Amino acid sequence: MMLHVPQVLSPEQVRHIREVLDATDWVDGRHTVGDQGALVKRNRQLPEHSPVGARLGEIILAALKSNPLFFSAALPHRYMPPLFNCYEGGEHYGLHVDGSIRGVPGSAQSLRTDVSCTLFLTEPEDYEGGELVAVDTYGTHEVKLPAGDLILYPSTSLHRVEPVTQGARICSFFWVQSMIREAWKRSMLFELDQHIQRLRAKSGDSDEAVGFTAHYHNLIRLWAEI
């Protein structure tokens, strides 16, 4: 399941993050991938251990933790601290799949990458190219969202970033280890939760809404890995 989560960040938050990033030095993005990824990756990033990146990442994580749509889709257990990248002058990232396990910077912990997230920090009209293209069993999907909006998708998906031929594409990206490992189970729980919310909006906490809510939580109790 790919899901567009709108307005994760406010325009003021986006403006603040961009002002900080514009005054920060980038490094070669190949430092954060393995040998295979380095063959197809051409972009720049903030270093993984950047104090600036850590402070900006805290803003993003705080916004996500208060976003009910994101929580419903990702059912997060643990977060990878957000990273930041920049593409311009033809930079791109060829077709790849994200690594299954990543070390958490600044700790001895590792994280299983279940959900991949890209948070756009540049308005789509400010650059050409740079679409995130994900390939799954249902076809090819191109994504280019307004600044402050986020796309999430299963980390098992093959994906790429098209060359940026004009302007600069600046984003944050990170991974989530979900309470629910399998993507199809997360998708089913998300759809069930959305139906429950619509039912409650129409009829309040009716017997039916309470019953479906009980089934939702019992499925999480059955499937969750925490």
Instruction: Look at residues 178, 193, 210 and tell me which one is the last residue of a structural domain.
Output: 178
Verify that 90 and 117 share a domain, yes or no.
yes
Verify that 150 and 172 share a domain, yes or no.
yes
Instruction: Please say if the pLDDT value at position 35 is more than 70.
Output: no
Instruction: Please say if the pLDDT value at position 33 is more than 70.
Output: no
Instruction: Look at residues 144, 161, 178 and tell me which one is the last residue of a structural domain.
Output: 178
Q: How far is 90 from 93, CA to CA, in rounded Å?
A: 10
Verify that 107 and 210 share a domain, yes or no.
no
Average pLDDT of span 128-144: 93
Contact between residue 138 and residue 98 where contact means Cβ atoms under 8 Å apart:
no
Verify that 102 and 210 share a domain, yes or no.
no
Verify that 172 and 189 share a domain, yes or no.
no
Q: How far is 52 from 111, CA to CA, in rounded Å?
A: 22
Residue-level pLDDT at 138: 81
Range of the domain at 196: 183-223
Residue-level pLDDT at 136: 84
Verify that 62 and 17 share a domain, yes or no.
yes
Please count the structural domains in the chain: 2
Verify that 96 and 119 share a domain, yes or no.
yes
Verify that 100 and 57 share a domain, yes or no.
yes
Instruction: Look at residues 163, 178, 193 and tell me which one is the last residue of a structural domain.
Output: 178
Residue 140 phi/psi, 5-degree rounding, is -110, 135
Report the C-alpha dihedral over residues 93, 169, 61, 187, rounded to 10 degrees. Answer: -60
pLDDT tens-digit series, residues 147-175: 999 999 999 999 999 999 999 999 999 99
Residue-level pLDDT at 106: 82
Verify that 143 and 193 share a domain, yes or no.
no
Verify that 115 and 151 share a domain, yes or no.
yes
Average pLDDT of span 90-117: 94
Verify that 142 and 208 share a domain, yes or no.
no
CATH, residue 81: 2.60.120.620
Verify that 63 and 173 share a domain, yes or no.
yes
